[in-house]
Amino acid sequence: MPAHGGYRLRVRHLARLLARAGDVTVAALGDAPESHDEPFDLVGVPHDFSRRRALRRSWRRPYLAALLDSPGLARLAAGGGWDLVVASSPFFVDLALGSGAPVVLDAHNVETDIMATLARTDERRLHRARWRWEAAKMAPVERAAVASSAAVLATSDADAAVFGRWGSARVEVVPNGVDTTAVAHAPPSARHALVYVGQYGYRPNESAARELVTQILPLVQAAVPDTTVELVGRNPTDAVRALAAADVAVPGPVDDVVPCLHQARALVVPLRAGSGTRLKILEAMAAGTP
């Protein structure tokens, strides 16, 4: 499983731990790699990620719920004879319940809180209205997913408290972590370089990149004129690509983020929306980058 992004890293780490106790199958939307060196089976489920299709189906449910709705995943859950199903998103809980097995929701975030924050902070008026609508649709979906799961795994005490108030019968905090044996440690670089790592199709990451370049970087350069920024990660949007300049690099996705961390004086994470905890910070700490 390609370990790009905090979501995939957490799924991989959890699957590795579960594989110590029994046979584990990870079902992922899209094509699975032909081979992988992991202690679990990896099954790819073909999926149509068309945004146009999702928009047509999202009038009464969250856009992401429509985007990730997968008949193939539902069939796999219903026909697998599983002892336990872990749903890695509230959007997958309904599909998982079709298995007839106990369902554990691994909640990477409180999705409703993220959308509510974007409804307050997005600099574009129409997008603020859109996020208010998405938050209103998301709240009942996420609450139902929490209440119908046999247990919920939260990444932080703050998130766990929210899920407890929503009626979860059992909430356990399972913090994010990083495999320190797989991350080379090095002293911080002497270069005056800042790095941000994110999947820029995710709106909070796009907003963070824009704030870093347009608001934070000028303040830093007032004191350290030769400071540069590198925006590393998948799916850079047009808005992120437009930030590229002599002192701002937008290389896009990389096979391994650790060399980028080693070349930077510091990782910067100016996120204003989100819950859970940031795996990118743990990776930077393991790599020796402040």
Phi, psi of 220 (to 5 degrees): -65, -45
CB 26 within 8 A of CB 17: no
Strand partners, 196: 231
280 has pLDDT over 70: yes
265 has pLDDT over 80: yes
In this prediction the pTM is 0.86
74 has pLDDT over 90: yes
Predicted confidence band at 150 (pLDDT cuts at 50, 70, 90)? very high
Q: Which of 126-130, 180-184, 190-194, 277-281 has the lowest mean pLDDT?
A: 277-281
* pLDDT 10s digits, 231-262: 999 899 999 999 999 999 999 888 888 999 99
pLDDT at 188: 85
> Which domains are seen in the chain, by residue range?
47-173 (no CATH), 180-287 (3.40.50.2000)
pLDDT at 2: 45
Q: What is the mean pLDDT of residues 214-234?
A: 96
Tell me the residue ranges of DSSP E strands in 10-77.
25-29, 41-45
- Give the dihedral sign, CA 81/86/88/90: positive
Predicted confidence band at 275 (pLDDT cuts at 50, 70, 90)? low
Output DSSP code: residue 214: I
Chain mean pLDDT for the chain: 91
Strand partners, 154: 107, 173
Q: Which of 52-66, 196-210, 225-239, 268-282 has the lowest mean pLDDT?
A: 268-282
pLDDT at 140: 97
- Cα(172)–Cα(274) distance, rounded to whole angstroms? 20
Predicted confidence band at 217 (pLDDT cuts at 50, 70, 90)? very high
pLDDT at 279: 80
Tokens representing 53 are: 């299709």
pLDDT at 1: 41
**Pick from 20, 141, 24, 43: nearest CA to 84:** 24
Tokens representing 46 are: 């073909």
Predicted confidence band at 181 (pLDDT cuts at 50, 70, 90)? confident
Residue with tokens 């929210």: 162
